[in-house]
Amino acid sequence: MIWGSKGFNIKLIPRDSKESPLYQANLTSVENFNQMVDVTNARAQWLGLMTLGNNNSRMDTVQPVVLNTKGLYCIVEMDIGTPARRFYLMLDTGTAMTWIQSADCTECFQTQGGSFDYKHSTSFKFLDCNHPMCLSRSCQQEKYCSYRAMYGGGGSYGTMVSDKLTFNSDTGKGLVEMYFGLGIWNSVNFGPDNGPDNRIAGIFGLGLGDYSFPKQAALGSFSHCLPSFEAKVSTVLKFGNNADIPSDAEGVQTTPFVQGRPGSANYYLDCSGISVDGVDIGLPPNTFKYDPVTDKGGMVIDTGAPVTGIFPSAYKYLEDALNNYFAKFSLKPWTGARLYSPYCYVKPPNFYQFPTITFHLQGAHFILEPDNGFRIEEDHFCLAIAPLNADISIIGAFAQTNHVVRYDTINKKLSWYRESCGSGPALHVGGVGSVLRPPKVIGTIVLVYLLFNMLL
């Protein structure tokens, strides 16, 4: 529960932010975006595996398969225990379980500064088997509640515990007494820096489920406003009342979540089609339909995936529609060093005629403005949507930048609207591009500037 607050904020750090423990300063803009697409592909595979294997039954045999968690994009910073000790956890909207590696782990990954040593926390408690939050009803040595967070062959297995989590916030300190997993067996790698310099200690779960942080904190909703990738700054996760949409917000869109099968923590959306510059691309019916029986198909919104990705068959339709749109400009295919996208063109000087790409959802439209749909460099541009080799499609973080996105976990719906996020350049894409429809704050500034000059 939250003590003394109905809402608070948590610092949210994109992995390519200069504040991130995973930040790689030596990467070029193209190399960085290519890595983001790699992360998205890994993320899609992870989400598919999690929906098949995410349960809390006891694991009798442990297979030596290692999960590479480079398929996550955002990091949270928090203090755990009494006295509090700081840890970095990868944020995951595709799983409800929060867990951290125990200092007593028997299968461990390396982490800088060590793992969580519960013996030094006076507020730490093990969960008994008969505790109401022992959802697995599985016990270790007939005493303590166990958990299993599996993602295909890899994952984390250990004991359910409770302790105090403290979050630094621009509204002060947020204090939560939370149930989470103490990882004893952890077959996990944290990205390319897995090793003694790794600073990630576990997973912070924001997916649907009883163990999810919003559910435990009884806050019901959370939101974020991701800055552009160029900004390389941190932002905040807002919870509870802090996540409420302002009454003066413009262009708010809302769509319900699609119910996944029992145990699924993913935020599925009902997507009926895609259009380019207002023209439907002609996808077959049910292209993105989710099948709860097989747990395959569907589209999710996911902060953990940097880039939007869709099924290869749907990607071909999108590619054809974009070819039809750009044909009138006589653009040349880009053959130089390119982004991890099969769809790139040479960018003529002062060319900004990029189309919008719209995902048609139940009762709403998620519109990718040019800064969300394309990665625009000085001499070329590429589509910022990738064909995914997975049984799931994803609206990723790049598509969500410069939007407030709110998850209502009680009423099972998603809301969003266009807004300038962070201190990054809202009118620049890849350092040079111009957005056709800028966020309302930037647009207001431009309008005031023009009126002022007219009066001179």
112 and 77 part of one domain: yes
In a domain, 136, yes or no: yes
The structure tokens listed for 348 are 């003529």
Closest CA to 310 of 333, 354, 343: 343
Is residue 98 assigned to a domain?
yes
The residue out of 240, 262, 289 marking a domain boundary is: 240
Q: Are residues 95 and 196 in the same domain?
A: yes
Identity of the residue numbered 33: F
Q: Are residues 235 and 253 in the same domain?
A: no
Any residues with CB less than 8 A from the CB of 102 and at least 6 apart, and which? 115, 116, 118, 158, 159, 182, 183, 184
Q: Are residues 67 and 140 in the same domain?
A: yes
Residues 189 and 303 in one domain: no
24/106 same-domain check: yes
Q: How many CB atoms lie within 10 A of CB 201?
A: 25
Residue 81 lies inside a defined structural domain of this protein:
yes
Upper half-sphere CA count for residue 259 (Cβ side, 13 Å): 5
- Is residue 232 domain-shared with residue 302, that is, in the same domain? no
Q: Does residue 126 share a domain with residue 37?
A: yes
Number of residues that make up the chain: 456
Work out the number of other CB atoms within 10 angstroms of the CB of residue 131: 15
pLDDT value for 45: 58
Rounded to whole angstroms, the Cα distance separating 339 from 29 reads: 9
Residue 250: both structure tokens together = 């413009």
pLDDT of residue 66: 36
Domain assignment of residue 170, yes or no: yes
Specify whether 223 is located in the same domain as 88.
Answer: yes
Partners of 101 in the β-ladder: 183
Domain identity same for 303 and 439: yes
Q: DSSP alpha helices (H): ranges in 209-362?
A: 213-216, 312-326
Boundary-marking domain end, from 240, 268, 285: 240
* Position 2 in a domain: no
**ω into residue 83 within 30 of 0, thus cis?**
yes
Burial of 24 (0-12, 13-18, 19+ CB in 10 A): middle
* Per-residue pLDDT, 18: 59
> How far is residue 321's CA from residue 347's CA, in Å, rounded to a whole number?
18
As for how many domains the chain has, the answer is: 2
Q: How many helices (H) and strands (E) does the chain have?
A: 6, 30
Residues 443/450, Cβ–Cβ less than 8 Å: no
Q: What's 371's DSSP letter?
A: H
Please state, in angstroms and rounded to a whole number, the distance separating the CA atoms of residues 137 and 128.
10
Domain of residue 293, CATH code? 2.40.70.10
Distance separating alpha carbons of residues 79 and 163, to the nearest angstrom: 10
Tokens of 414: 């998603």
Handedness of CA 203, 218, 417, 282 (dihedral sign): positive
Q: Which of 240, 266, 296 is the last residue of a domain?
A: 240
Which pLDDT does position 175 carry in this prediction? 77
**Residue numbers of the domain that contains 301:** 249-452
pLDDT tens digits in sequence order for the chain, 456 residues long: 444 457 888 888 866 565 656 555 565 666 655 556 666 566 655 555 443 333 333 333 333 333 444 545 688 888 999 999 999 898 888 888 899 999 999 999 888 878 999 999 999 999 998 888 888 767 766 688 998 887 655 688 999 999 999 876 655 566 788 999 999 999 877 755 555 677 889 999 999 988 899 888 888 899 999 888 776 677 888 998 899 999 999 999 999 999 988 878 899 999 999 999 999 999 999 999 999 888 889 999 988 777 898 998 999 999 999 999 999 999 998 887 655 667 889 999 999 999 999 999 999 999 999 999 998 888 999 899 988 877 889 998 889 999 999 999 999 999 999 999 875 444 333 333 333 444 444 344 333 333 434 344
1 falls within a domain: no
Task: Based on the fold, state whether residues 190 and 282 are members of the same structural domain.
Answer: no
- Same-domain status, 232 and 365: no
